[in-house]
Amino acid sequence: MLRTLRSVLRFRPLEVRAADRRLRAAANVADYRNLARRRLPRGVFDYVDGGAEDELSLRRNTAAFQRLEFRPRVLCDVSAVDTSTTLLGRRLPVPIVLAPTGFTRIVTPGGELDVARAAARAGLPYTLSTMATRSIEQVAAVSDGPKWFQVYVWRDRGLAKDMLARAAAAGYEAIVLTVDTAVLGRRERDVRHGFTLPPKVGLGTLLDGALHPGWTWNFVRSEPITFANVAGTAGMAGIDGSSAVTLADYINGQFDPSLSWRDLDWFRGQWDRHIVLKGVQTVEDARIAADSAVGAIALSNHGGRQLDGAPPPLELVAEVAAAVGDRAEIICDGGVRRGSDVVKAIALGARACMIGRAYLYGLAVAGEPGVDSVLEMLAADMRRTMSLTGCQSVADLDPRLVRWRPAGP
């Protein structure tokens, strides 16, 4: 008996660093989400994880991927699987772009810099948000990988012009115009918590902080958080993140709700590199976008954080791909939690997927190595899925590979 027991007993080497132990405990993005829920104060986790109103679009974004199933082919010689593709003229090892997420340093002090470094290491574009807590230049200083800059349009057009000039000077390859945020969606988890940026410290926050000492210790030791792209800009005192405001007050006060298709020309006058239009949610608008000669259309409902009841991007991909043809590349943004999700979106006609929460969960759990780990998992998933479906390269991913499940689980 002892001999049998000895032959099967294997102890994993003890991980000394807590972050390494957490990394080892995660087998997928859902595990990272669970670990992030434990590690972050409730208000911070809900800011990342939550969606608008009843969170219908948030749930449907992920559910749509589950409704699509594979039609795997066998005996296809998958000894050499190639997951690479091109997006806006650039070769990428996998068809993934890191989506812009505002206020990333609320998750962990490394924030945008950690994410940008991990993206560069993986050879994937990182999109810096207008609402970032590190500046255009700070991110460029740590990342020689492909960088995109996401633009919300300020009522003060001079500020937008200035940011575009800074992004061009710092070597950003594309701007991402987010067009689904005429006003901010009602994120009711944030409303309930009275969530402000930066967080206001009341009794509830103190208690929440005490229950999450790892996050709190990092937060109080790091420099104060500001909206780094506007901090110090003339006329921006009080709205640069140095005083606590709700995101809704901030956005509704500062961003221009009169933005229309005509404004695309203004952007083209200021920016001569690629333009990505993020937040397109109908075939009609995708057609107009393609006619307006944008480089890529990101089908997106902002991860279910804006209009609740907006369609899941995956459900739009095939129809938009048919309408747009090769006039613009299509990016599917929202609900991606596995590499197999990326394979599904590409099969329907997307060129790439954007991911938001997936990398934020990794960041919350283990900082930069957490983001590395999520990106590696998605790439490995994608390679495995392609092997199991009989696809040697991204060119093999076409609509015949998938079908919508009629009903059932």
Active-site amino acid positions: 302
Neighbour-count burial for 218-247, b at 16+ CB within 10 Å, e otherwise: ebeeeeebbbbbbbebeebeebbbbeebbb
| Cβ at position 3, least distance to ligand FNR in Å | 51
* DSSP-derived pairing of the beta strands 296-300 and 96-98: unpaired
d(CA 219, CA 41): 11
Q: How far is CA 166 from CA 36, 162, 276, 348, in A?
A: 34, 6, 18, 36
Q: Which residue's CB atom is positioned nearest to ligand FNR?
A: 356
Q: Which amino acid is at 365?
A: V
Tell which one of 133, 150, 196, 226 touches ligand FNR (CB under 6 A): 150
What string marks each residue from 30 to 69 as x (binds ligand FNR by CB under 6 A) or -? -----------------xx------------x--------
Residue 302 in contact with ligand FNR, rule: CB under 6 A: yes
CA 220 to chain centre: 26
Tell which one of 355, 365, 366, 377 touches ligand FNR (CB under 6 A): 355
Tokens of 163: 């940011």
Tell which one of 57, 85, 196, 300 touches ligand FNR (CB under 6 A): 300
Q: How far is CA 407 from CA 210, 222, 311, 313, in A?
A: 46, 50, 18, 19
Instruction: Give the single-character DSSP code of 82.
Output: B
Residue 362 in contact with ligand FNR, rule: CB under 6 A: no
Tell which one of 129, 138, 340, 373 touches ligand FNR (CB under 6 A): 129
| Cβ at position 174, least distance to ligand FNR in Å | 13
Residue 151 in contact with ligand FNR, rule: CB under 6 A: no
Tell which one of 178, 205, 226, 340 touches ligand FNR (CB under 6 A): 178
Residue 342 in contact with ligand FNR, rule: CB under 6 A: no
| Cβ at position 166, least distance to ligand FNR in Å | 17
Pick out residues in 81-110 that bind ligand FNR (CB under 6 A): 99-102
d(CA 215, CA 217): 6
Q: Smaller CB distance to ligand FNR: residue 62 or 385?
A: 62
d(CA 376, CA 94): 10
Pick out residues in 180-209 that bind ligand FNR (CB under 6 A): none
How would you write 377-397 as a 3-class SS string? HHHHHHHHHHHHHCCCEHHHC
SS3 175: strand
CA 367 to chain centre: 16
Of the ranges 163-171, 281-289, 297-305, 370-378, which one interacts with ligand FNR (CB under 6 A)?
Answer: 297-305
| Cβ at position 177, least distance to ligand FNR in Å | 9
Tokens of 387: 């092997």
Of the ranges 87-95, 153-161, 329-337, 396-404, which one interacts with ligand FNR (CB under 6 A)?
Answer: 329-337
Binding site for ligand FNR (CB under 6 A): 47-48, 61, 99-102, 129, 131, 150, 178, 278, 300, 302-303, 305, 333-336, 354-358
